[in-house]
Structure 1
Amino acid sequence: MSLMITDQCINCDVCEPECPNQAISAGVEIYVIDPKRCTECVGHFEKPRCVEVCPVDCIPLDPAYVETREQLLAKYTQLTAEKAPS
């Protein structure tokens, strides 16, 4: 699954720089997570960094984007290949 940021977000700015996939950005009212880039930190860390640093615990799993660990790992592989220098 991808993660999502709920409306409990206080816009504290700590999650965005922690995301290794640049999946988090400022939305209209609160930060948002791009499900196409979110791997729940699979391939990078044991636990999602944004969840670990969030002071208000407002980053649950997004039930609209159900993915297996294997799918998240495949997404991680694709994203890191895109970052690799040509």
Structure 2
Amino acid sequence: MAIKITEECINCGACEPECPNNAIYEGGVEWAITDGTSVKGSFTLLDGTVIDAAQRNAPISVDTYFIVPNKCTECQGFHEEPQCAAVCPVDCCVPDEMYRETVEELLAKKERLHI
């Protein structure tokens, strides 16, 4: 399951540098699969949509930091726990119920992001 940042976010930015997948962005910033990954060319999103990995996408949130579910692996294969949640001073990095994934699926996503 991906992690999400709730509205309680105070925009401190502590989470952003901790993400090994570069899945966390400041509110209002466009994102791309290629940011911080080794992906090039086509990439299939969780919903089955195929995009160019370098394509800039609309921000998921404008007011607070946000996590791109298609890049979040809950730090599987990197750390024992999600680092964003570990450093968040207001505990606003929580599991995203909309994106349920097994450990195996998260590890496979990590492998796709970091070839």
Q: Aligned-pair RMSD on alpha carbons?
A: 0.5
- TM-score norm. by structure 1 comes to 0.92
Find the aligned partners of 2:71 and 2:98 in 1 and give their Cα distance: 15
Q: In the comparison of the two structures, how many residue pairs are matched? A: 81
Deviation at 1:60, TM superposition (A): 0.8
Partner of 1:62: 96
Deviation at 1:31, TM superposition (A): 0.4
Structure 1 consecutive aligned stretches of length 4 or more whose deviation exceeds 4 Å: none
Deviation at 1:45, TM superposition (A): 0.3
Structure with the largest fraction of helix: 1
Unaligned runs of 5+ in 2: 28-61
Partner of 1:42: 76
Q: What letter corresponds to residue 44 of structure 1 in structure 2?
A: F
Unaligned runs of 5+ in 1: 82-86
Between the two proteins, what is the percent identity of the paired residues? 56
